[in-house]
Amino acid sequence: MTDSQRPTPPFTDQQQDQTPGQTAPMSPQPDHGEQSYRGSGRLSGKAAIITGGDSGIGRAVAIAYAREGADVLIAYLNEHDDARETARWVEEAGRKAVLLPGDITDPAHCEQIVERAVQEFGRLDVLVNNAAYQMTYPSLEDISDEEWNKTFDTNIGAMFRITRAAVRHMKPGASIINTTSINADHPNPGLIAYAATKGAIQNFTGGLAQLLAEKGIRANCVAPGPIWTPLIPSTMPPEKVEQFGKQVPMKRPGQPAELAAPYVMLASDEASYISGATIAVTGGSPII
């Protein structure tokens, strides 16, 4: 599909009441690479964890990883229909899919994600920390302590706990990939709590790359710009959804499928000397 064939704003009013949202009601439907991604064995024999793997970027990465030869544990909150659909695509590619629902703000669940993956696959080669929470607020006064803490505990606290548990099982050549955001460098004032966590993720990843280098474990970030996922209609007001993605030079949101390539590359052995990097997938908005 060429750039001119991808959906552009304006989009219809399609608010969803519950975060992180569902894929089925979205119009247009996100493209996760179901019909387009072609694997070439770049992750053959590897085992991966993807948090937030039920939909959006997580689903696109799960499909790509499976078609590249990896087994995948899909960790998600409670979006069971979406998670089962992702698992179906993984299994259709001939790989094993493990579904594990639960709240990553619970430290015990963070440990369970890793232990379950090791139990099911016998190894852990790739950790994709992708799950995130956001909500739009027009002013600081509208953000409660509970909301601030929930955003940080979901986006960076859980990342720390899952990573700490995963490193115990990772061997040289393993890869950790954290989803940050263009908001790490260009914070959206309406997403101030979310943006602050994304800056923290980028900093955490840079430190992690240095800390784990002697173990032969790499850590990198992917920084998406506006991507068309269920998080958008479930966390943004109608006027923002209608014009979503128009602010970047390409004048449209990215599709989840357009994120798969950097996640595959960073997980592969071809990226053996890449650690501490941030790869921007932002529709032309620079991160410098």
Q: Are 257 and 37 spatial neighbours (Cβ–Cβ below 8 Å)?
A: yes
Query: What are the chain's domains?
Result: 47-281 (3.40.50.720)
Beta strands 175-179 and 47-51 are unpaired
3-state secondary structure 89-144: HHHHCCCCEEEEECCCCCHHHHHHHHHHHHHHHCCCCEEEECCCCCCCCCCHHHCC
The pLDDT score that the predictor gives to residue 230 is: 87
How many CB atoms are located within 10 Å of the residue 254 CB? 23
pLDDT in tens, the chain (288 residues): 666 679 999 998 888 877 778 898 888 999 999 999 999 999 999 999 999 999 999 999 999 999 999 999 999 999 999 999 999 999 999 999 999 999 999 999 999 999 999 999 999 999 999 999 999 999 999 999 999 999 999 999 999 999 999 999 999 999 999 999 999 999 999 999 999 999 999 999 999 999 999 999 999 999 999 999 888 888 888 888 999 989 999 999 999 999 999 999 999 999 999 999 999 999 999 988
Is 76 noted as a catalytic residue in this protein? no
| H helix count then E strand count, the chain | 9, 7
The pLDDT score that the predictor gives to residue 4 is: 64
Catalytic residue among 65, 194, 263, 273: 194
Strand ranges for 205-282 from DSSP E: 218-224, 278-281
d(CA 91, CA 104): 25
For 36, phi then psi, to 5°, come to -115, -30
The pLDDT score that the predictor gives to residue 8 is: 92
- Helix (H), strand (E) at residue 76: strand 71-76
The pLDDT score that the predictor gives to residue 260 is: 97
Q: List the one residue out of 151, 55, 163 whose CA is nearest residue 107.
A: 163
What b-and-e string marks burial along 87-118, b requiring 16 or more CB atoms within 10 Å of the CB?
bebbeebebebbbbebebbeeebbebbbebbb
Farthest CA pair distance, the chain: 51
- Cα–Cα distances (Å) from 51 to 56, 61, 215, in that order, read 11, 10, 23
- DSSP per-residue string spanning 139-193: SGGG--HHHHHHHHIIIIIHHHHHHHHHHTT--TT-EEEEE--GGGTS--GGGHH
How many CB atoms are located within 10 Å of the residue 239 CB? 10
Only one residue has tokens 């393993």, namely 174
Chain centre to alpha carbon of residue 10: 25
> Which three-class secondary structure state does DSSP give residue 266?
helix
